[in-house]
Amino acid sequence: MCVSAEVDAVAGLVIGAIAVDGLRHVRRRADLILASLPLVLAVHQLIEVVVWWGVEGDVASSVAHVAVYAYLLVAFGLPLLVPPAVAVLEPDGWRRRLMERLGVAGAFVALVLLAGVVTGPVGAVDGGYHITYHARLFDGGALTVVYVMATLGCLLASSHRKIVAFGALNLGAVAALAWLTVSGFVSLWCAWAAVTSVVIAVHLRTVDRQARGRGARGLDWRRPRKAVPFGPGRSRILPTR
Query: pLDDT over 90 for what percent of the chain?
Result: 10
DSSP summary character for residue 224: P
Res. 27: pLDDT tops 50: yes
Total number of domains constituting the chain: 1
Strands of 19-129, DSSP E: 122-126
pLDDT tens digits, one per residue of 96-147: 999 999 999 989 988 988 888 888 788 888 877 778 888 776 666 778 888 8
pLDDT band for position 216 (50/70/90)?
low
Whole-Å CA distances, 228 to 90, 205, 220, 224, 241: 38, 36, 20, 13, 13
Whole-Å CA distances, 165 to 58, 69, 82, 193: 38, 30, 15, 12
Q: What is residue 101's predicted lDDT score, i.e. its pLDDT?
A: 92
Q: Are strands 235-239 and 122-126 parallel, antiparallel or unpaired?
A: unpaired
pTM metric for this prediction: 0.76
Question: Are residues 194 and 14 in contact, defined by beta-carbon separation less than 8 angstroms?
Answer: no
For residues 118 and 210, give the distance between their C-alpha atoms in angstroms, rounded to a whole number.
Answer: 44
For residues 108 and 94, give the distance between their C-alpha atoms in angstroms, rounded to a whole number.
Answer: 22
Which structural domain range is residue 216 located in?
5-239
Res. 34: pLDDT tops 90: no
Q: What is residue 50's predicted lDDT score, i.e. its pLDDT?
A: 93
Show the CA angle centred on residue 233, arms to residues 228 and 235, nearest 5°: 25
pLDDT tens digits, one per residue of 70-89: 988 888 888 888 888 888 88
For residues 58 and 126, give the distance between their C-alpha atoms in angstroms, rounded to a whole number.
Answer: 14
Res. 232: pLDDT tops 60: no
